Structures are given as structure tokens and as C-alpha cells.
A and B are shown apart, each in its own frame.
Chain A
Amino acid sequence: MQDTSFPKKTILLIEDDTFLLNMYREKFVNEGLHILTASDGDEGLEIALNQDVDMIVLDLMLPKLSGEDLLIRLRKKNKNIPVIVLTNLSREDQAEGFTLLGVKEYLVKANLTPSQLVDKVKGYLI
């Protein structure tokens, strides 16, 4: 299943649930993407600010720094990395606010298989 069409693309996955983090990492790697991971908001922001990242897949309920706050700080530092919000919170009613913060899509984890997620991410990387 090696896909070589995205050789230099780096995805930052910020997710505090170890099971989900491992699962998504495995799938992304299998699909040929380079992946960085962070399991809390602070760590995630640190990586996003200091490393070359093409896209962030961001959970909202995170320890230390919530996904929303991370987004706000990221945008303040003038980092325009595209972000997909991947959460189990149903807060599509705040979609407008997220769009303003440059969120490409708001996805509910439970409604999505890992390969569907990879497809979405790839869709934005092209």
C-alpha cells in the first residue's frame, strides 16, 4: 500500500488517546505519509511552531492546552498551516468560528474510518 505521491508531506497529529494516536499513525504511515505526533496541546504547538509541517490533524479536548487555544496561538504567530479538526465533540455549531481560524474541515472521529481520514487529508494536500 506504499503510496509515493506524497513523499515530502508531513502531517502533525495531535491526539491524547494513545489507542487512537497509534491507530491513525499506523494508517498514515501505511499510506506513505510522514507523520509527527503530539499527545498534548503544548507539545503540539511546540512542534507546529518549530518544525516544517504541511498539515495538522487536531483533537479539541487536549491536556495542557485545548485544541481551540492551540489554534488561536498558532494563528497569532502567523502560521497558516492548514488544519483539520478531528474530535468526538459535536460542535459543528461553532463551525463558523473554526472556519475563521482556518480550519479546513470539522470531522467527528466516530463517524470516520482511518482510511476515510487519510483520503480527506490527501485531498487537501494536492
Chain B
Amino acid sequence: MPDLFLIPPLRLPFYNRLLVVIISLITIMLLVIVFNNSKFRDRQSKIYAAMSVFMLLWVDFAFLARYVGSVSLIKSELYLRIAWVATPLFFYSTYLMSIFVLKKEAIYKRCCLVLLLLSLIVGVLTAFTDLIISGVIFRNESLDIIYGKGFYPFLLFIVILVIFTLAPLLKTKLKKESKAFLTGVIIFYVANIIFNITLPVFFNITHLYFFGDYSTIFLLGFTTYAIVRHKLFEIKVIATELLTILMWIFLVAKLFMSTSSTEFAVDIFVLVLMIIFGLLLIRSVAQEVKQREKLEELTTKLKEMDKQKDEFISVAAHELRSPLTAIKGYISMVIEGDGGVIGEKARSYLSDASSVNDRLVRLVNNMLNVSRIEEGRIVYQIEDVDLIKAVQEIYFSFKFEAERKGLKFIIDVPHGVIDKVRLDPDRIREVIGNYVSNAIKFTDDGSVSIRITNPNSKTIKVEVIDTGPGITKEEQVKLFQKFYRASSTEGKTIGTGLGLYISKLLVETFGGKVGLDSEFEKGSNFWFEIPLILQ
């Protein structure tokens, strides 16, 4: 029987055997994760793949060399040489990774080439000459290596690689992923220096070598984190993959421990089931993650569009305001006589034009105001205000418009009404203006009257009562909502459906409330109440 199939007695400790299998599996798994992530398209994951392969060669062949040591020294030496050839190459790929993690490949290009050449030379010398390893002996249940003359230069070269790897990492201010990589590098180097160099070379303790070898897994783990980290969502998938694969490993291990064929059959059945369900699980998690990513993307897009909308409204309103300003300004100047004396009739026409223009100004203001009020971006100029005076101002500014429509326009302030309130006078004028403008707009004949009262000693109430079409109970509920327009107004006039909504927001800001009493075809009474300043 060729000794290839000779199974050596299991001399190595159980945990060593178990560890080497687990570490190899984890390495392959990490490789799969990185492959899933990048398909090895970028340089970083290519270097990662090289690291993984050299690490597997090193760890597994170092183990195999010791495993077959008691049976075949020739084979043991061969395996050991393979492991030792892989070692400088692994250190070199770690060096490359550090350069790439820091994105400094351009700076160290020449250095990379020189070190690669040296690594290859050292590898060839290790493989084909006795300079570094001249042989092995099996003694006291463990494998001892006979070092050649070139062993110390070999060590020196490894140390040089270590320095070249660490120097740029320690010199640079690190990002999170580079820190993870550095952590892995340091754990690996420290374990290596202790178990692969200090103990065997200086203290002749060789049986603990594997602590050094196996610490590579920390390096690979942290490196994996470093290169897939920017895809945070993937971590959920990776965790699922890890757990599933661990479960498979456990089940495969259990196969070898089964004591009867029935148990073996059951274990196989369970394993197959777990593989199927595991794959389904990974797929569904991956899908969920993809959906979440899509949702995230959509949300960002939506927010972007919302911002664009706001910007558009702001720009459009600004552009609208300029001509409105000119119209308003020139009309007022003509009325005031800046252009010479004009007739009474002309003056009244211009007053109408001015009222209509003011309505447009209000419309634009409403468009601009609504989002700013909602988001609290508006700044109020709060002061003590005589509300009656504010109402009178609005009354006079609408007088012409109402009279031209043939409406009776009345202001009704009983004697002795207390009207001191604390609020932003411009904003409350907006509210009263909105009410009055609506009343005049929707009333074709009859009257519009503004009434001011004190329903109790702490409150002032302003009512705008019209003899218009009235509003049904169903519509009354919705009228103060954003963008709502009463169906009775459809086709009759344009509006943004914002006026009453803004009025409500403003009045509530000043501690008051708004309301509406109306019956269909019997006119409407829009009102608001504001708390008085208590003397």
C-alpha cells in the first residue's frame, strides 16, 4: 500500500486537529463572503484571496507535516517546505493589503515590487535548497525542524515585511476599517512572534507552534470586516451565512461520530434538510436586505424631490412676487397722485385693481408660508396689538372690492370691547384678510360683516359673517385641512386650498382657536378667538 493512504496514528492533540479543520473551513467561508461581496473584481479582494490561499497552504501543510511526521519524514519535510514557502508570501500579501487598505498603492509601488521579488527568492530558496530548512526529525512525539544557515536571514526578511506592513498603518490617521485591519495584523504578529519564533527558536518549545499559525484567522477575520464593512446591510446576510455554515460544520462533524447506520442515515437526512433550509434562509435574508436597500434609496430620492419641490415653489413665488410688486407699487403711486391728479372714477377702478392684485399677493404668501409654518421655520414678531385696529385696517383695504361687488360691507364693534392681544400683527392681518377675502369671493349678493366681541372676560372673538352659499356639515369638518377646497367652490374660482389651513395654524400658534358656523344655503360665519392680555 502506498504510504499516501497510510493513516498515521492520531498523536496530535484533539483540539489541534479540530482547530485546523475549523480554521480552514472559516477561511473558505470568509473567502466565499468576500467573493459574494465583490466577485474579486477589485484589487483589494484579489489580494484578500491571495492572503487566504497562502494562509491555507501555510496552516494546513504545517499541520500535515506534523500529522505525518511519525510515519514518513520525507513527506513531512515536503509538507513543511510547502508551508514555509507560503509563509513569506502570506506576510507579503498582508503587506500589500495594508498598502491597499490605506489606498497608498501608488506611493509604495516600487517597494511592493522589490519585496515581491525578495519573497519569491526566499520562497524558491526554501523550496529547493537546504539553506533555510535542511531536514526534520521526529522526536518525543513532536516534529523538530533542522534549520539551515539561511534561517536567521529568513527570519530577518519576515521581520522586514512586518515593519513595512506596520509602518504606514501606524503613520496614518486611520479610518474605522483600517483600524480593524491593524487590530488583526497586531494580534497575528504578536502570536507569531511568541509561538513561531521566540518559543521554538530560543526556548526549543515547538509543540505550541499552532497558536501562531492559527492566529492568522484573526487577521483574516478583521480584514474581511475591513473590506466588506462599507456595505453595512450585508452584515445581516454575512451573519446568517456564518451561522448556517457553522451549523453545517457541526452536522458534518456529527456524521463522523455516529455509532450506528441508523443514526448515520438520520444525520445525513438532517444535514440535507439543513442545507436546503439554510440556503433558503440565506436567500430570503439577502432578498430582504436588498429590498431594504431599495427602500432606503427611494426614501433618499423622495426627500430630494421634496426639497426640489420646496425650492421650486420658493423660486416660482419669488418670480411671481416681482411683477406683483411693480403692479402694486405703480397703482398705489397713481392713486396717491404721484403721476398727477386723476378722476374719482379712475381712482376707484385702480383701487379694485389693487385689491385683486393684493389677493394674488396673499395667494403667493400662502404658498410660501405653509411649509415654513408647518416646519416652525417662521419667526414671529410678537408684540402687543390692538386687534380692533388690525381688523379696521383689513376692513378698509377690502372696502372697495366689496362695494364694487354690490355687497353690504359692515364692521360691527360694540362699545367697550377689550382688544389687547399679544401676537404677530402681520400674521393676524393675514388671517383676517383670508376670512374676509373668502367671504367676499363667495358671496354674490347680500352682505359681509365683521363682528368683534368678548365672549368672556379672557377672550376676544372675531367673526366674519356672510350671506353666501353656506357649507354643508360634511364639508365643514374638512374645510380647515390642507389643500381642501369646498366642492361648492369648484369651477368658481381658483385657490390653493391653503388659506384656512394657514389661518388655523397661525391662530393656534397665538393660543387661540378657529371655527365655522354654517348651514347650506344660509351663509357662513367664520370666526377665531384669541386670549386677551390680562391687565
State the A residues within 8 Å of B (CB): 1, 17, 19-20, 23-24, 26-27, 30, 61, 88-90, 92-93, 95-96, 108-115
Contact = CB atoms under 8 A, between A and B. Distances in A.
A37 to B, nearest CB: 15
B329 A17 contact: no
Interface residues of B, number: 26
Interface of B: 314, 317-318, 321-322, 324-326, 328-330, 332-333, 336-338, 361, 364-365, 368-369, 372, 377-379, 426
A26 B338 CA distance: 9
A27 B334 CA distance: 11
B338 A27 contact: yes
Nearest to A19: B326
Contacts of A89: 314, 318
B318 A20 contact: no
B329 A92 contact: no
Contacts of A111: 361, 365, 426
Contacts of A112: 325
A30 B324 CA distance: 22
A110 B321 contact: yes
Contacts of A108: 321
B370 to A, nearest CB: 11
Nearest to A117: B329
Contacts, number: 66
A121 to B, nearest CB: 15
Contact of B333 (A23, A90, A92, A110): A23
Given A23-B333, A89-B318, A90-B372, A110 B377 contact: no
Contact of B369 (A30, A90, A95): A90
A110 B338 contact: no
4 pairs of A and B residues whose beta carbons are closest in the complex: A113-B332, A88-B321, A110-B321, A109-B325
Contact of A115 (B314, B332, B364, B368): B332
Contacts of A1: 337-338
Q: Is the interface of A mostly helix, strand, loop or mixed?
A: helix
Contacts of B378: 92-93
Contact of B329 (A30, A88, A114): A114
Nearest to B330: A23
B333 A20 contact: no
15 contacts: A1-B338, A19-B326, A20-B325, A23-B330, A27-B338, A88-B318, A88-B321, A88-B325, A90-B314, A93-B378, A95-B379, A111-B426, A114-B329, A114-B333, A115-B332
Contact of B361 (A19, A27, A92, A110): A110
Nearest to B332: A113
Contacts of B318: 61, 88-89
Nearest to A16: B322
Nearest to B369: A90
B326 A23 contact: yes
Nearest to B360: A110
Given A27-B338, A111-B365, A92 B379 contact: yes
Contacts of A109: 321-322, 325
A87 to B, nearest CB: 9
A18 to B, nearest CB: 10
A92 B427 CA distance: 13
B379 A17 contact: no
Given A30-B338, A115-B336, A93 B377 contact: yes
A110 B372 contact: no
B326 A20 contact: yes
A93 B324 CA distance: 23
A27 B321 contact: no
